[in-house]
């Protein structure tokens, strides 16, 4: 098992993995085209856990020059509680650190009990910030 950088060639398998994990909320930005742009914009930051044959974990990680963002962290059920989630997060934090980013945000839905148990183990703290968003250029 290795944790390695996600490549363009991984995208269809990674999307299938995310679609199969109920706690991962994909949205209309999670198309192969937009994800390819995201990977190009954030080289080396997003990891996959690879058995040598299959991808069994993945996360999407990027930054805006100021803060890191960690989205869609998922490990397929038979491979959980073996350190892969931590290894994926460590990959993200190590690579954010290399580009000078030392704070990272993760979005955890209130009803996600496994996520809420996991993030404190990674020393993430819940923050009370409300998020406001505008879609434009015809996006839903």
Ligand X SMILES: CC(C)(COP(=O)(O)OP(=O)(O)OC[C@H]1O[C@@H](n2cnc3c(N)ncnc32)[C@H](O)[C@@H]1OP(=O)(O)O)[C@@H](O)C(=O)NCCC(=O)NCCS
Q: Which residues bind ligand X (CB under 6 A)?
A: 21, 23-24, 73-75, 80-86, 106, 108, 112, 114-115, 117-118, 121
Output the smallest distance, CB 9 to ligand X, in A: 22
Integer Cα distance of 82 and 87 in angstroms: 10
Least Å distance, CB 28 to ligand X, is 19
Chain position whose Cβ is nearest to ligand X: 85
Nearer to ligand X, 7 or 113 (CB): 113
By three-state DSSP, how is residue 120 classified?
helix
Which residues make beta-bridge pairs with 50? 2, 55
Closer to ligand X by Cβ: residue 130 or 138:
130
Instruction: Give the Cα separation of 140 and 134 in Å (integer).
Output: 10
């Amino acid at each position: 098992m290795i944790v390695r950088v996600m490549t363009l060639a991984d995208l269809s398998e990674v999307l299938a993995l995310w679609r199969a994990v109920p706690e991962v909320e994909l949205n209309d930005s999670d198309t192969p085209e937009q994800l390819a742009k995201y990977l190009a914009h954030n080289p080396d930051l997003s990891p996959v856990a690879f058995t040598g044959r299959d991808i069994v974990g993945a996360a999407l990680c990027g930054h805006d020059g100021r803060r890191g963002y960690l989205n869609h962290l998922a490990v397929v059920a038979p491979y959980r509680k073996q350190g892969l989630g931590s290894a994926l997060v460590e990959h993200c934090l190590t690579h954010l650190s290399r580009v000078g980013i030392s704070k990272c945000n993760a979005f955890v839905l209130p009803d996600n009990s496994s996520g809420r148990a996991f993030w404190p183990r990674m020393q993430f703290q819940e923050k009370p910030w409300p998020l406001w968003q505008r879609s434009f250029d015809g996006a839903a």
